[in-house]
Amino acid sequence: MKKRSNIITVAIDSPAAAGAGTQAKLISKEYNLLYLDTGKLYRMAALLKIKNKNFNYLYLKKNMAKLKLSSLDNKGLISDEVANTASVIAQDIRIRKIIKNFQLSCAYNPPTKYSGSVLDGRDITSVLMKDAMFKFYITANVKERAKRRFIEYKKLKKNITFKEVLKSLKNRDKLDKNRKYSPLKKTKDSILINTTKLSKKSCFYKIKAIMDNKIYN
């Protein structure tokens, strides 16, 4: 794979709804980086599985080969059913391998209009971008995460209770942290950011201070 040199690379891992996506978007704007929410790829695979009875590896491979970044703006990806299915199929090493290339090309070969890339997910710091210039592990208390996700769902008029959201987040945490391949974990070289009591802004200032220090000094 072609790799661009001298680019800024940011890898973020986090459990669901910890605020990683929000921070990754802010980072991408501040430093002109391509942003990829890798969870969306697993959600896309999940949606394909839910919608097609004849879903198989080849089918997924074909769909991934023609996937455009803009296709990930699909509202159909935001649902508890899709998230839970994503977490189940993400345990499958063959599915992970099919999704890997798309992520690697965003990470290491972003379009030249960008100064680099920022990816968030579950195995970005530990597997996908081990050599990233910046590595963060963003987390928050599970009740706080459920509260945030519940508010997001309510805004989208989703018919779901807080209890259900909390239960499925706990279930996904368990699956994602305990699976055999690419489990979610904090690597030793990642900087821990706990967003439970932090506003979006103060969390971003913390990250920006760390990044500016390395980029501009």
CB of 133 to ligand C5P, least distance (A): 18
Which stretch in 1-9, 53-61, 122-130, 187-195 sits in contact with ligand C5P by CB under 6 A?
Answer: 122-130
Residue 107 contacts ligand C5P per CB under 6 A: no
Residue 19 contacts ligand C5P per CB under 6 A: no
Nearer Cβ to ligand C5P (189/212): 189
Scan residues 174-203 and list those touching ligand C5P (CB under 6 A): 176
Scan residues 64-93 and list those touching ligand C5P (CB under 6 A): 83, 86-87, 90
Nearer Cβ to ligand C5P (7/176): 176
Report angle CA 29, 35, 40 to the nearest 5 degrees.
140
Beginning with the edge strand found earlier in the chain, give each strand of the sheet holding 116-121 in spatial order.
Answer: 33-37, 116-121, 8-13, 134-139, 191-194
Q: Please state, as a whole number, how many other Cβ atoms lie within 10 Å of the Cβ of residue 131.
A: 8
Dist CA 47 CA 140 (whole Å): 27
* 3-state helix, strand and coil shares in percent for the chain, rounded to the nearest 5: 55, 10, 30
The single residue among 146, 172, 193, 203 that binds ligand C5P, judged by CB under 6 A, is 172
Dist CA 106 CA 35 (whole Å): 8
Residue 153 contacts ligand C5P per CB under 6 A: no
Nearer Cβ to ligand C5P (16/27): 16
* 75: CB partners within 8 A, 6+ apart: 156
What distances in angstroms separate CA 78 from CA 86, 124, 152, 177, one per listed residue? Answer: 11, 21, 10, 21
E strand residue ranges, 97-210: 116-121, 134-139, 191-194
x/- site string to ligand C5P, residues 25 to 64, per CB under 6 A?
A: -------------xx--xx---------------------
CB of 165 to ligand C5P, least distance (A): 12
Which residues in this chain contact ligand C5P in the complex, by CB under 6 A? 16, 38-39, 42-43, 83, 86-87, 90, 121-124, 172, 176
